[in-house]
Amino acid sequence: MTEPWLKVWNLKFADYDDFKKKYGSYLSENSENAAILSVLNSFVVMGFLLQKKLVDYEIVRQLPIVMTWNKVKPIVDGVRKEFGSPAMYEEFEYLYNEVKKREQKLQQSKA
Instruction: Give the CA diameter of the chain.
Output: 49
If one counts every other C-beta atom within 10 angstroms of the C-beta of residue 42, the result is: 16
Query: Of 72, 66, 71, nearest to 89 (Cα)?
Result: 72
15 vs 93: CA distance, rounded Å: 18
Q: pTM to 2 decimals?
A: 0.91
Q: Which domain holds residue 59?
A: 2-110
Q: What is the pLDDT of residues 72-103, one digit of tens each?
A: 999 999 999 999 999 999 999 999 999 999 88
User: In whole angstroms, what is the distance from residue 64 CA to residue 40 CA?
Assistant: 12
Number of domains in the chain: 1
With cut-offs at 50, 70 and 90, classify the pLDDT of residue 111: low
- Residue 73 dihedral angles phi and psi, to the nearest 5°: -55, -45
